[in-house]
Structures are given as C-alpha cells and as structure tokens.
Amino acid sequence: MNILSNSLKLYLEQYREMLSHRNMTKSTHKSYPTYLLAYFYYLDDVLHKLPEDVSWQELRDFLVYIKSKRNLADRTINICISQIRFFYLYVLHKPWDSTQVPFRKFDTYLPEVPTKKEVAIFLSSMTDLKQRSMVTLMYSAGLRISEVCILRCKDIQSDKMKIYIRSSKGRCDRYAVLSPKALALLRKYWISYRPKTYLFPKQRGKDLPIDTFYLSRHIHAHEERLGWQQRFTCHSFRHAFATHLYEDGADLLDIKAMLGHKSLNSTTIYVQLASNGIRVAKSPLDTLEDL
C-alpha cells in the first residue's frame, strides 16, 4: 500500500481535529478513521483524485470495492458510510446526499444466550480467578466488557451493594447491582492480586485498564476445555443477565435501567429470548371453539 499524499495526510489531520471538536469518545477517535483511511488509499491508488473531486458514482464504486475485497457485513458498510459522511460534512464542508449513498438494510439475528445451567457450569469450572471474576461481573450485573475493563477499585461500593459504571456506552454514568456472591468472589480476587487503581489492570506495565480483547480468547478457550462449540462471547453474559431477569419476572423498565439502555426498544429483545416470553404465548387459533 502506498504512502498517503501530503494533501490526504492534511485531510486526515483535519478529520481528527474535528473529532476532537465534536468531543467524541476515545474509542471513536480510535475507530472512526479506519475506513476513511481505506477510502483515502483508494483515492490515491485507484482513482488518483482528491476527495472533493470524487463523484457520487465513484464513491458508490468504492463501497462495492471494499465490501467485496474485505468481505464486509452490511452493518460494517454502514459504519464506513458514517465515517465518510462525517468527513464530507465537517472537513470538506460539502452537503451529504443520503439518496446518493443510502445506508444499507441488514438482517437482525437473535444472539446466543447461555441458559442458567450453562452459566453455572461455565463459571464454576473456571480456574483462573481473574477471568472468573470478570465473567461473573458481566453476568451478575449485566455489564459490557468495556465497562468491566475500566472499573476502578473504588467503583465497587460494597456498603451500598452497587457498582458505579462510568462513561458507559451513550456517555451516561449509572449504577449496576452488586451481587453478594460476586462481592465474595471479588474479595478473594483482591486478596490474591491486590489491584491499585483499576480493578483489572494490564498484566504488565503501568497501572492501566486491561484490554477488552483479553477475555474474549479465554472465553473461547474455556468453551473448548468444556467440549462446547464456540457459541458465546463476552456480550453473551450480559444478554444472559437480562434474559434470566425477565424470566424471573423483572419488569422491562427495570432491566432497561440496569443495562443502561437509552431506548426501551433495545430492551424488548429479551422478550424474544426469554423461555417464558413469546414462545409460551397462546395463539388465538387455539381459543376458537368451533374448530
């Protein structure tokens, strides 16, 4: 891949500057230039044009090109479109026509959710105390892996039996429930590891939060040790938390608050996933007496 031209390098610097002015999160700063860079390389290597000279058709051709070359899902193509749209609006200061480059429709699939029995087997058979503590927190409090990784020791408020979640998705702080069983496990973990600032720091180096990808590979490795297929991810245990709560009779609004969802629409998926949800609803056909 060729080195970017000076003009495109300048555009990239302006793009990052505008991300700062928009006060985007650190994760956005890291992820947002991903496909814009691919677009810039395409301009340099294929079109030999600057962004302001590209036609809508050429932009659509790039999306077809990158989808086929990298085998990208439709959701990912929409991320790519969002990044380029931000560049057009905030760097080129050109209007964006969504009728020329529309977002793609995509299929939505229900996630794999471990049953209560599977969660019990998974957690009880984990021998690594750090990994077990992290997975236990995801399941017991419905946390995202990113939220677990940036937890500070002081966020575990045992006197209130709450966990303080800072800077979660949507940039909203919240409190999560602290399970007595999870607290007992965390105390064992703290005695063994003695973390200072972050509850789960990097294994080496400064006192920094552990990387989010650390646990993913260990979850798959543990599935393999159990002889299970690789079905679950870190997020599966957050889904399990909400699904099992709903099965036990919790209100959707309460689950929404505990998960930190902005919209109830994001929470209603657990009606579909719960064993006592739609699957046990009675069809009106079966209430007809004359059939």
Active site residues: 144, 169, 235, 238, 261, 270
Residues 6+ apart with CB under 8 A from 192: 129
| DSSP secondary structure, 181-215, as one string | HHHHHHHHHHHHH--SSBSSB-SSSSS-BPPTHHH
For residues 166 and 150, is the Cβ–Cβ distance under 8 A? yes
CA angle, corner 161, sides to 155 and 166, nearest 5? 30
Phi and psi, residue 165, nearest 5°: -105, 115
Between the two ends of the chain, the Cα-to-Cα distance in Å is: 69
Helix and strand numbers, DSSP H then E, in the chain: 13, 3
| 247's tokens | 């099965």
Rounded to an integer, what distance in angstroms lies between the CA atom of residue 243 and that of residue 237? Answer: 10
Rounded to an integer, what distance in angstroms lies between the CA atom of residue 147 and that of residue 259? Answer: 11
Residue 178's nearest CA partner among 157, 148, 149 is: 157
